[in-house]
Amino acid sequence: MNQNIERLRPPPLPATTEGLLAGKLTNVGRTLNDEVDDVHVVLWANPAYRALHDAVWPEEAVEGSLAADNIFAALEVRKYAKLNKDNEAKYPRIVRAKAATLAKALGYVTRRYGQNRSQRRSTVKGEVVRNGDDE
């Protein structure tokens, strides 16, 4: 191997936090899912809210279907976000979101905790049981 090859040097790393932030390519910030996550954690202490997440089969659902339970849970999230002016300022995406959108966000949030309905339905004695479709 030739030791005389000159390698190009990349630009230097920023020396300051300000420089790091100035070069950030994506500026996502907080998302709807992050807001829903915050409210989900607050509401978790409420047994009625928790019950809306408990069913993994339709016949177990509080409102008669898993989709209905998801919507009712989403409405609880929105109700909490609209509770007072401080909350409305803290959770602006939730306040504007449709119930179906919030229900989808709750699906993502519960997945973050390993607790969405399909994850829980596929878990037996603490282990995920694969069905025949898994590779």
pLDDT, one tens digit per residue, over 108-128 is 999 999 888 888 888 776 676
Residue 109 falls within a domain, yes or no? Answer: yes
Do residues 107 and 37 lie in contact, with contact meaning Cβ atoms separated by under 8 Å?
no
Residue 63 falls within a domain, yes or no? Answer: yes
Q: How many structural domains does the chain have?
A: 1
- For residue 73, what are the domain limits? 32-117
DSSP state for residue 69 in the 8-state scheme: H
Do residues 55 and 61 lie in contact, with contact meaning Cβ atoms separated by under 8 Å?
yes
Of residues 93 and 22, which shows the higher confidence score? 93
> Quick one: which of 81, 99, 78 has its CA closest to 89?
81
The pTM (predicted TM-score) of the whole model is 0.75
> Quick one: which of 94, 90, 59, 54 has its CA closest to 74?
94
**What is the per-residue pLDDT for 135?**
44
**Chain mean pLDDT for the chain:** 88
pLDDT, one tens digit per residue, over 61-94 is 999 999 999 999 999 999 999 998 888 889 999 9
